[in-house]
Amino acid sequence: MALTRPHGDAIAPARLLGLLYAWSGFAIMWAFWICFVVFLANPRWLVENWPLPTVDQGGWVRHPLAAASIDIILIALFGLQHSLMARPWFKRHVTGRLPAAFERCTYVHAANLALFALIVFWQPIPLLVWDVTAPLRDILWAVFSAGWLILLFGALSFGIFELLGVQQMRAWCRGLSAHSSRLKTGLLYRLLPHPMYVGVLLAMWATPRMTLGHMLLAAGMTIYVLIAMRYEERDLARRFGPAYSRWRNSL
């Protein structure tokens, strides 16, 4: 098939489509994170003109149990997409049928769908759990901001172009073999084994105004992270063996 050939005029359109496929996933993911910051922060000065729901605004289901049921399904769909597609057996049997450069990009596009579905179909449960005032309010907003910064620098530490599939596609379009992923131990990974997970959880829980719906989302994501870390660490140990053990012991 022309799609899998690493060079030659016949593959030029496929190269262009491959780059569009990779960069569109990259761009949509960035757009999602901007939307998700607004979704969680629920800023009053912006919500009135914001086209998407937020964690406490929007939705069409008013009964708390019905809303919680929909929200749990959305969280579960997100968790299943992220966990199943990241597992080596899924890559071998499903995305492994694609050219290697398309595997990560396909994961990113699927993640974008699951994440935007979470925002668009989220049903708020506005029952108040806590609502704090200054100075604790300011401290929680600072922790919220720190969470996003940790997530960003965690992605940069991992290699954001590799994380979102652009690096692999660039190599394929140049007729090169993508380098096999190496164990990430630089920058934030010298301090934390899972900096991106830490950043997400800080952003989830650090809010001066916590509603039941927001807490349901934070709790669901926490459960997902705890499960995902277990499987991720097992996969890393199998793949990198002693190198992984040395790195973990050094933290």
Each residue of 27-60: pLDDT tens digit?
999 999 999 999 999 988 887 788 899 999 999 9
3-state helix, strand, coil in the chain (%, to 5): 70, 5, 25
- Report pLDDT for 123: 97
What pLDDT, on a 0 to 100 scale, did the predictor assign at position 151?
95
Q: What is the mean pLDDT of residues 119-130?
A: 96
Residue 180 pLDDT: 61
Give the model confidence (pLDDT) of 68-94 as tens digits.
999 999 999 999 998 888 777 777 766
Over the stretch 1-13, which tens digit does the pLDDT of each residue have?
A: 344 444 444 457 8
Placement of tokens 């990779």 in the chain: 22
Peptide bond between residue 135 and the one before it cis (omega within 30 degrees of 0): yes
DSSP code per residue over 160-229: HHHHTTHHHHHHHHTT-PPPPP----SGGGGT-S-HHHHHHHHHHH--SEEEHHHHHHHHHHHHHHHHHH
Least confident segment among 40-44, 130-134, 138-142, 203-207: 40-44
Residue 53 contacts residue 59 (beta carbons within 8 Å): yes
pLDDT recorded at residue 84: 81
Rounded mean pLDDT, 89-104: 76
Residue 81: both structure tokens together: 């997409």
Asked if 67 and 125 touch (Cβ cutoff 8 Å), the reply is yes
User: What integer pLDDT is reported at residue 139 of this predicted model?
Assistant: 97
Q: Which residues of 58-94 are buried (b: 16+ CB within 10 A; e: fewer)?
A: bbebeebeebbeebeebbebbbebbeebeeeeebeee
Over residues 237-242, the mean pLDDT reads 86
**pLDDT tens track for 137-168:** 999 999 999 999 999 999 999 999 999 999 99
Q: What is the pLDDT of residue 31?
A: 96
Q: How confident is the model over 220-239, as a mean pLDDT?
A: 89
φ/ψ (deg, to 5) at 160: -65, -30
**Tokens encoding 76:** 């579960």
